Amino acid sequence: MAFCRHCGTQLEDGTSFCPNCGKPTAEVPAVETTKQVKEPSGPLFWRIYMKAFGALMEKPFRLWGISLLGSLLTGIFVSLAGIAVPAFAIAIPWLFTVALAAIFLKGYHREQVYCYELFSTMKDWATIKRVLAGMGWSFLWIFLWSLIPIVGPIFAIIKGYEYALVPYILVKKPELNAVKARELSIEKTKGFKGQMFLADLVVYAMIFVAIAILFGLGMIKYVGVLFLIIMVLLMICVGVLLPLFMGIVHAAFYEELIGEEKEEEKEETTEA
């Protein structure tokens, strides 16, 4: 004798639905309603590549257009400011760098981005001072480390990766001043500078190898011109697209090492 597993009503043999509650008498296999997103596997820098590429594919043309516009505006403003006030030739790239960091972060999160956001760091004097102080403080330390005889350039590269998160910290943590932003970047990049270096090295090494191969093929008689044309086209594509991809990659590193979700997970672990 069988009974309904929902309401307990006695059932006749062979009954598919309960006459009382109308629910099926047999167990229905659970249907997965949420799509599981598979996390990329491999070293950290490779997982960052995959996440950055996935984010970039959401709005490639808009992000590419704004990134290219940012590079053009930086060049124009630096050229004009360098003639009038040379100090501005250093300050203006910092302002655009932090503004682009904010755009790359939004792009990484698949959020809408707009051209006017390129001027987000110039909206008021307080923002300008904070950005220039944060970027200038990091630049000063890199410069001082570079003055060490013989090994100075190596230390400057290492410190460059230590301070690489500063633009994103200035965007996401407005409560932190220049000193605290640099200190937080140093703290969060401990143990990850090698992965950040690899992320840059692999991309540039692949580009270098591709250009070298095409150049070598370009020396072949008769057909070499075709490979040289391909090499030139590749170099143009690299110049146009590489800043965008690397910007998204660096934004992904920020989210991986400092992002709000990581902080919330740490807080939940602490409370538990």
pLDDT tens-digit map of 76-131:
887 776 666 666 778 889 999 999 999 999 999 888 889 999 999 998 899 999 99
Does 37 score more than 50 pLDDT?
no
Rounded mean pLDDT of the chain?
83
Query: How much is the average pLDDT of 210-230?
Result: 89
Residues whose CB falls within 8 Å of the CB of residue 168, separated by 6 or more in sequence, listed in order = 101, 105, 250, 251, 254, 258
Does 26 score more than 80 pLDDT?
no
267 vs 272: CA distance, rounded Å: 9
Residues whose CB falls within 8 Å of the CB of residue 219, separated by 6 or more in sequence, listed in order = none
pLDDT at 220: 86
pLDDT at 241: 85
Query: How much is the average pLDDT of 148-165?
Result: 94
Does 167 score more than 90 pLDDT?
yes
Does 189 score more than 60 pLDDT?
yes
pLDDT at 161: 95
Contact 93, 78 (CB under 8 A): yes
pLDDT in tens, 43-69: 888 889 988 888 888 777 888 888 889
Contact 122, 162 (CB under 8 A): no
pLDDT at 83: 63
Percent of the chain with pLDDT over 70: 79
pLDDT in tens, 225-260: 899 999 999 999 888 888 889 999 999 999 989 876
**DSSP assignment of 70-115, as one string?**
HHHHHHHHHHHHHHH-TTHHHHHHHHHHHHHHHHHHHHHTT----G
**DSSP annotation of 29:** P
**What token pair was written down for 190?**
């401990």
Beta partners for residue 11, in sequence order:
2
Element of type H or E holding 10 = strand 10-11
Does 31 score more than 50 pLDDT?
no
Of the two residues 243 and 261, the one the predictor is more confident about is 243
Does 32 score more than 50 pLDDT?
no
Query: How much is the average pLDDT of 171-185?
Result: 92
Radius of gyration from C-alpha coordinates of the chain: 27
Three-state DSSP string of 139-181: HHHHHHHHCCCCCHHHHHHHHHHHCCCHHHHHHHCCCCCHHHH
pLDDT at 27: 57
Query: How much is the average pLDDT of 123-145?
Result: 93
pLDDT at 145: 94
49 vs 63: CA distance, rounded Å: 17
10 φ, ψ (degrees, to nearest 5):
-70, 135
pLDDT at 198: 93
120 vs 118: CA distance, rounded Å: 6
pLDDT at 21: 65
